[in-house]
Amino acid sequence: MNGFDWNAVGESLPLLLEGFKVTLLATVLGTLVAAVLGLAVAMAGRAPSKFVTVPVRLVTEFVRSTPLLVQLVGAAALFNTVEPLYIGITVLGVHYAAYTSEVYRAGIDGVPKGQWEACRALSLSPRRTWQAVILPQAVRNVLPALGNYAISMFKETPFLAVITVQEMVFEARKYGAEQFAYTEVFTLAGLIFLVASYPTSLLMRKLEKRLGH
């Protein structure tokens, strides 16, 4: 037993924070991809033809039910000339899009039928129907759930270390292996996650209450 080395904490903190920037960047961009792609998938899922909706449903179900880690490692092995960070952001985005599309679907279903009928009565084009009437109402209901997925994506970014993206956990593992100080760096990394994610989830809960969920 060699106890807890406070020097290692002081020494590794700047490294971890440097990696944390990459963690945040991946989370923000990944969330953006998931938010946009999820909406596209949800809208495609409402297409009038079954030849569109059934494959869309199957693919989202498949992506949702298979492990992120396998998707990441597989994508990195297939596209081994692409920068790992881009692969990481894309895979995170696509994986979470499978979840956010369900959220959008529920949000769109939540818009009263009368709104659609009113749009038809006013003979608005499909584009204006979505843009001016349906989406503004749907997205408002969907925001808290999207925020929750952003938080869980944040907690899954350590997976990116496996495909050599130099985010926080990558730095932690490197430092831990060099100095044999795994206890200190992993404890510190865990605390950084806690400090960053807890206030955010409190905020999301407040937002959810305010929007009446």
Instruction: Give 61 or 83: the residue with its C-beta nearer to other proteins.
Output: 61
What the block records as the tokens of 81 is: 């000339």
Cα–Cα dist 193/170, whole Å = 14
Contacts of 189 (CB under 8 A, 6+ apart): 16, 168, 169, 172
- Return the residues of window 45-64 that contact other proteins according to CB under 8 A: 61-62, 64
Could you tell me the smallest distance in angstroms from the CB atom of residue 71 to other proteins?
7
Identity of the amino acid at 186 = F
Instruction: Rule CB under 8 A: choose which of 39, 56, 93, 105 binds other proteins.
Output: 105
Instruction: Rule CB under 8 A: choose which of 16, 94, 165, 169 binds other proteins.
Output: 169
Instruction: Give 89 or 189: the residue with its C-beta nearer to other proteins.
Output: 189
* Span from 11-19, 41-49, 118-126, 197-205 in contact with other proteins (CB under 8 A): 197-205
Q: Does 149 bind other proteins (CB under 8 A)?
A: yes
Could you tell me the smallest distance in angstroms from the CB atom of residue 9 to other proteins?
13
Tokens 């080395």 map to which residue?
5
Fill in the DSSP letter of residue 66. Answer: S
Cα–Cα dist 159/145, whole Å = 22
Cα–Cα dist 69/6, whole Å = 33
Q: Does 11 bind other proteins (CB under 8 A)?
A: no
Instruction: Rule CB under 8 A: choose which of 17, 25, 44, 162 binds other proteins.
Output: 162
Cα–Cα dist 121/69, whole Å = 48
Report CA-CA distances (Å) from 52 to 57, 59, 61, 198. Answer: 9, 11, 14, 40
* Interacting residues toward other proteins by CB under 8 A: 1-4, 61-62, 64-71, 73-74, 77-78, 98-99, 102-103, 105-106, 145, 148-149, 152, 155-156, 158-159, 162, 169, 173, 176, 180, 182-183, 186-187, 189-191, 193-194, 197-198, 201, 204-205, 213
